[in-house]
Structure 1
Amino acid sequence: MRSVNDTYRTRSGSHLFRFRFQEQQSGDWIVYIASQPDYCGRPDDAHSTHRLSDSCGRYVCWTKPLHTLRKAKQVAASWCEKTEQYIRYGKKF
C-alpha cells in the first residue's frame, strides 16, 4: 500500500492545504488532511466541514470510493476550494 504526501494551494492563492493520500488494501484511496487553514470562527464539526476521522487522523468525507490517486487528488482539490468558500463566506457545501 502506498502513501503519497502532497499540497494544494487554492486558486485564489490564499490557502494552503497538505494531504497524505493513503492507499487501502482494497486499492481505493483515503485523503487524510495533514494541515489546513483555521476555520476562523465558523463551525468546524464533521458535518459542516465534510471531514471524518479514524485512528490515522482526519480525512475528507467522500461518499464514493476513490479508485485512483488521480481521482483522490481531484477530490482533495474540490474539497479545498469549497472549504475556502466556507471559511471566507460561510457558504455551505
Structure 2
Amino acid sequence: MRITLAILCLAALAGCATASDVTSTQSGHLAVTARGNLNSEFVSWTSVRNTALDQAKAYCAAQGKQARPVDTSTDGMMRITSDHVTVVFDCE
C-alpha cells in the first residue's frame, strides 16, 4: 500500500516542471532552463532542477555523449513565484 501511494505521489509531481530548448551561452557552454508550472500548488526546487538536468542528459545522449554540469542558477522563490532553474553544461 505504501509503495502504491509513493508511486502515485511521484506521478502527480512528475508533470510539475517544464524545460526550455537547449541554447548556447556566450562562454561556449550549453544551457537549459526549467520552470515550475504555475498551476501546481507545490513544486520542489529539486524537481525543477532535475527536469533541467534530464533535458541536458537527453540532449547529450542524442549525440552519443554525456552531460557534464558546469553551473546551476535559480530564479524565483517557491510558493511566491514559479521557480526557474538554469543548468549550464557541456556534452563530453
**Higher Cα Rg: structure 1 or 2?**
2
TM-score between the two structures when normalised by the length of structure 1: 0.32
Structure 1 or 2: more helix by fraction = 2
